[in-house]
Amino acid sequence: MKIIRTIAEMKEISQKYRRSSETVGFVPTMGYLHEGHLTLMKRAREENSIVVASIFVNPLQFGPNEDFDAYPRDFKRDESLAESAQIDYLFYPDVEDMYPDEMTVQINVKNRADVLCGRKRIGHFNGVAMVLMKLFSIIQPNNVYFGLKDAQQVAVVDGMIRDFNLPVQLRTVETVREEDGLAKSSRNVYLTEKERKEAPALYQSLIAAKEKIISGERNPQVIISAVKDFLQKNTNGKVEYVEIYSFPDMKQLDCLEGKFIMALAVQYSKARLIDNLIIEL
Ligand code: AMP
């Protein structure tokens, strides 16, 4: 595995592969790698001759009161984990290289970003879209890998690929969980011991809701109330939202049908956790 520190070097490598018959798989991350990230990398490894992963904590996707400075970082640890996933290149650029000057163009994500996390995290998906457009253009991948843990991100990337006719294929990977059901996340390290014990309630509330839906409940409001109720009884974290939308277009539903997402966010003392289930009836 080769570590690439500059855009110039990464572009040189990408151009070489673009002219060859290799297929390039790309896994963007913000580092502090865990089994979720490694599953994306392993899938990319199986499906491509060349695998590039990036580690870049993107300042544009953090709001002024969010955890950009406190976001966990440990490059040495990430380097050995990425190596174990047998990727070819680890792209690890500086903020100054990625955003040297004030930008001329902004990306404004219009649809799919005004619900769930996007409603609270104003500008978050604009920042995500901007960094991904840059990374896709630097790396020129054939296939890009994203986790359904961040399902709204998947919906936005899906729309962006279509809107800009980007020559990349979106591949998604199911959420990787701890044994007790908690979705793996770099932010889990910021849970207190007590919060960590309660946090599986997020997934449990979604599973209980799924069972209600399987038994025939079709009213989204009834399901949302049940999930909120479950969370209030089983964790002291502050429920930020519980919402249901069609997936991936994120439209309001009066009756549960087709493919939809049940998603939630809970704020703990130092970590804000999200989880979701996508169901197809
Ligand atoms: P992040 O470093 O949090 O930006 O995540 C980088 C990529 O890993 C995104 O596509 C995430 O959706 C994905 N990811 C993060 N956690 C998980 C997980 N528990 N299971 C599957 N994919 C994940």
Q: Is 212 near ligand 1, meaning CB less than 6 Å away? A: no
Of 148, 146, 174, residue with least CA distance to 29? 146
Q: Give 197's pLDDT tier (boundaries 50, 70, 90).
A: very high
pLDDT in tens, 248-259: 999 999 999 999
List, for residues 101-139, the tens digit of each pLDDT value: 999 999 999 999 999 999 999 999 999 999 999 999 999
Nearest CA to ligand 1 atom 17: 36
Task: Give the distance (Å) from ligand 1 centre to CA of residue 147.
Answer: 5
Radius of gyration of the chain (CA): 19
Residue 176: the pLDDT is 98
Q: Of all atoms in ligand 1, which is nearest to the CA of residue 185?
A: 16
How many angstroms from the chain centroid is the CA of residue 55?
13
Does 37 qualify as catalytic in the annotation? yes
Cα–Cα distance between 144 and 54 in angstroms, integer?
Answer: 11
Ligand 1 atom closest to the CA of 145, numbered from 1? 10
Q: What percent of the chain has pLDDT over 90?
A: 99
Q: How far apart are the first and last CA of the chain?
A: 43
Q: d(Cα 169, Cα 44) in Å, to the nearest integer?
A: 12
Query: Which letter does DSSP use for residue 61 in this model?
Result: G
59-106: pLDDT as tens digits: 999 999 899 999 999 999 999 999 999 999 999 999 999 999 999 999
| Predicted structure pTM score | 0.97
Q: Using a 6 Å cutoff on CB, does residue 121 contact ligand 1? A: no
Q: In angstroms, rounded to a whole number, what is the distance separating the alpha carbons of residues 84 and 96?
A: 29
- The residue type of 174 is E
- The string of pLDDT tens digits covering residues 202-259 is 999 999 999 999 999 999 999 999 999 999 999 999 999 999 999 999 999 999 999 9
Q: In sequence order, which residues have a C-beta less than 8 Å from that of residue 276 and are 6 or more positions away?
A: 148, 149, 151, 175, 206, 261, 262, 263, 264
Catalytic residue from among 37, 42, 45, 112: 37
- Residue 38 beta carbon below 6 angstroms from any ligand 1 atom: no
* CA 67 to ligand 1 centroid distance, Å: 17
Q: For residue 28, which phi and psi values (nearest 5 degrees)?
A: -80, 135
Number of the ligand 1 atom closest to the C-alpha atom of 177: 19
Chain-wide mean pLDDT for the chain? 97
Beta-carbon contacts of residue 133 (< 8 Å; ≥ 6 apart): 107, 160, 164
